Amino acid sequence: MPNYASSLSELGLSQQETVVYLATLELGASSISDIAKKAGIKRPTAYYVIDGLMNKNLISKAPRGKRILYIAEPPSRLLANLRVQEEKLINVLPRLESLQNSAGNKPKVRFYEGREGIGALYTEIFKTHKKILAMGSLQNVSEIFPYEETATWFRFLRDHGGKIYDLLDSSEDAKKYAKAAYRKGLGPIKYLPADFKMGTDMLIVDDQVLLISYSSMIGVLIENADIAQTQRQAFEFMWKHL
């Protein structure tokens, strides 16, 4: 019985349903008391389990005069039940797939809070992407993250042959960053007009746009091809005209 029980459990029967069905299958037409005894469960539980098995068309009533006996349906009924479930799934599958497709068009958004969250986000971006478009203020970054930590991000980028294209504010921090050893050879830098102020720092990588507000210490990672493409085109337009 244990081997059979394992197989039936994999077909969706509970442990109690399995032992009751197998007991009824062995006994033939039997009373609730005999089935409960054979299955090793209490009689009230047997009533409940048998009712569930009847709903699954695996046990039927077998009246004998004034007595009500129960008999197990042939094991082939298990296969028939599976085929019914398969047919139901085939019918609903197109609607389920349409739900997935519609959800696929919605942007995926993740939030990162505080210094640790933003630092982890920078690490993820620099460690997993080869081309980064970046625009913002180096003053914001240098006030929060020390030179050594920033250098670690760029080492990730260098290790897998990546490049970064920077549009920066024309601050002393930006000029210091441009001369930093960790930044050399990793891509060109251009400076934004003096009156162009960035409220957030922005990075664009593949289908993702990262926005960081240092005033509220929150990072937002948006994953959507259309949004990323729009931001990339705006970045490239500015790059071309500076």
39: domain CATH number? Answer: 1.10.10.10
CATH number of the domain bearing residue 182: 3.30.870.10
Reported pTM: 0.58
**Positive or negative, the Cα torsion across 37, 43, 49, 52?**
positive
Q: Which of 231, 206, 220, 216 is nearest to 121 (CA)?
A: 220
Question: Are both 114 and 157 inside the same structural domain?
Answer: yes
pLDDT at 233: 95
Residues of the chain with pLDDT under 50: 1
Question: Are both 141 and 222 inside the same structural domain?
Answer: yes
Question: Which residues form the domain of 44?
Answer: 2-73
Question: Are both 120 and 216 inside the same structural domain?
Answer: yes
Flag whether 37 is in a domain: yes
Question: Are both 201 and 127 inside the same structural domain?
Answer: yes
Q: Which of 100, 210, 81 is nearest to 153 (CA)?
A: 210
**What are the counts of helices (DSSP H) followed by strands (DSSP E) for the chain?**
10, 9
Flag whether 169 is in a domain: yes
Question: Are both 115 and 171 inside the same structural domain?
Answer: yes
What's the rounded Cα separation, in Å, for the pair 146 and 17?
63
Phi, psi (5° rounding) for residue 198? -95, 125
Question: Are both 173 and 219 inside the same structural domain?
Answer: yes
> Using one digit for the tens of pLDDT, what is the confidence trace for 55-75?
988 999 888 888 889 999 988
* Contact present, 58 and 77 (Cβ < 8 Å): yes
pLDDT at 1: 46
Tokens 């289908």 belong to which residue?
Answer: 207
Flag whether 35 is in a domain: yes
Flag whether 156 is in a domain: yes
Flag whether 197 is in a domain: yes
pLDDT at 2: 52
Phi, psi (5° rounding) for residue 167? -110, 110
Question: Residue 125 burial by CB count (10 A; 0-12/13-18/19+): exposed, middle or buried?
Answer: buried
pLDDT at 92: 80
Flag whether 83 is in a domain: no
Paired strand residues for 131:
163
- Looking at the structure of the chain, the number of domains it has is 2
